[in-house]
Structure 1
Amino acid sequence: MKKQRSADTGLELRIRRDLYRRGLRYRLQTPLVPGTRRKVDLAFITPKIAVFLDGCFWHRCPEHGTSPRANGEWWAEKLAANVARDRDTDRRLSEAGWTVVRVWEHEDSETAAARIEQLVRQHSPRANRPTSRPATTPAHGTLSTYSNHGCRCADCRRANAQYQQQLLARYRQHGGRGEHGTDYRYRTGCRCDRCRAAHAAEDREYRHRRQRQV
């Protein structure tokens, strides 16, 4: 029995990969069971989800659990003690406010990961947090849509071309990069405080013009 791995089993590695691909992060082998030294296989701290990955033999799966014939009485007591410990662990965690999830070895990893993800999303404070502002569809034909959203439609390309022409006109007007404290100087690479402030003011003015046009 010493050769039996208690961590990084095949089941655990599959579940961990599937959860990681879904954008979930967790702690491994964390001692969270109150009053004991027992460890949780996967722990989601903020939503308080404790995941145990149980082998069908060692935890007596109702579908695939078996009992050895050799030294059967000893094995029966051993496996019964495992099941009793599992139930005690579930009780202790539930009383501490944790939601316990147990995944059997025979379960499909994708299905199990989807079940865990659903619980984590439901119990996470960020899941039901209202968004600061509703998502809006970017308006085409604007420099913002061309630069920030990567749109390359005819209208957005035209807006970008017009802006480039304006920059070129300013460049010629100022005889080069011009003085500090201008939006053009910011656009051409300067990040001093005066150029940042000029760029912010120009950006606000541009947004106001777009709103008036709409």
Structure 2
Amino acid sequence: MYRDAADPWHLAERWYERRKYDLTLAGLPLPRYRRAFEPACSVGELTVRLAERCDRVVACDRVESAVATARERTSALPHVDVRHLTVPDQWPSGGFDLIVLSELLYYFDAPTLDRVLDLAAGSLEPGGTLATVHWNHPVPDHRGTGATLARTVAAVPGLTLTADHREADFVLQVYERTGPDGAAVLSPAAREGLV
């Protein structure tokens, strides 16, 4: 698809995409993150938005032309590192306090999906945020929908669901990594002492 167009899904132009990105960012419980990972960043539209809320962003895609476009789009953002990687076989080292899995998980068969989720949970720091957002309509190339993926992600040990936004077109969920002491996850209002 990238051979015929630099942005085959028109991510920068469609109101649907811009709105979905806005909702994704609004669903994140913290105002700022130290180190984020965004696999399957495509042309970097969401990456640019994440960069506004993160001290450091590692983004990747398996398609070299998409990586080139994302690098160009983020070239003025020195805290963004766009890499040519294929997950799960190539996963960046170190921990993250934010991982965003957007429009990605439905491409994997069950064993590979389990591996991706294990890697995500394993590299997510205690108290870290995992955001997932996926198209919710059947597509021949997809192995699930947002709703079916939500059930799979919910079964990952050590994650607590903190936000669940469902529409006809997509499912957006936000999880937080449980700390080693199993302490309850605080809501944004509780973090600010409002409740």
- Larger relative contact order, structure 1 or 2 (CA cutoff 8 Å, min sep 6): 2
| Structure with bigger gyration radius | 1
TM-score normalised to structure 1 length: 0.28
TM-score normalised to structure 2 length: 0.30
